[in-house]
Chain A
Amino acid sequence: MTIGLSTYLIYLALSIALTIWVGRTLHKNGRVFLVDVFHGNEALADSVNHLLVVGFYLINFGYVSLALKLGYTIETAEQSVEALSVKIGMVLLVLGGMHLFNLFVFSRMRRRATAHHQPPVGPDAFTPVQQEAA
Chain B
Amino acid sequence: MLSLTVLYDPECGLCRRAHEWLNDQLKLVELNFVACASDEARKRYPQLNHDLTKQDLTVITEDGWVYFGPKAWLMVLWALTRYRDWSYRLAAPELLPTTKRVVSVISQNRYQISRAAGLSR
A-side interface residues toward B, CB under 8 Å?
A: 116, 119-130
C-alpha gap A123/B67 in the complex (Å):
5
| A129 contacts B66, C-beta separation under 8 Å | no
Q: Are A124 and B67 in contact (CB under 8 A)?
A: yes
* Chain B residue contacts of A116, Cβ below 8 A: 84-85, 88
What are 16 A-B pairs at a CB distance below 8 A? Answer: A116-B84, A119-B75, A120-B90, A121-B67, A121-B74, A123-B66, A123-B71, A124-B68, A124-B71, A125-B65, A125-B68, A126-B64, A126-B65, A127-B47, A129-B60, A129-B63
Contacts of A127 in B (CB 8 A): 45, 47-48, 60, 64, 66
Residues of B within 8 A of A125 (CB): 65-66, 68
Contact A120 B66 (CB under 8 A): no
Q: How many A-B residue pairs have CB under 8 A?
A: 59
Given A121-B74, A121-B75, A121-B91, CB of A130 within 8 Å of CB of B67: no
Contacting pair B74 A120 (CB below 8 A): yes
Give B contacts to A, CB under 8 Å.
Answer: 1, 43-48, 60-69, 71, 74-75, 77-78, 84-85, 87-88, 90-91, 96
Nearest residue, chain A, Cβ from B61: A123
Q: Which residues of B contact A128 (CB under 8 A)?
A: 45-47, 64
Q: Shortest CB–CB separation between residue B74 and chain A, in angstroms?
A: 5
A120 and B87 within 8 A (CB):
yes
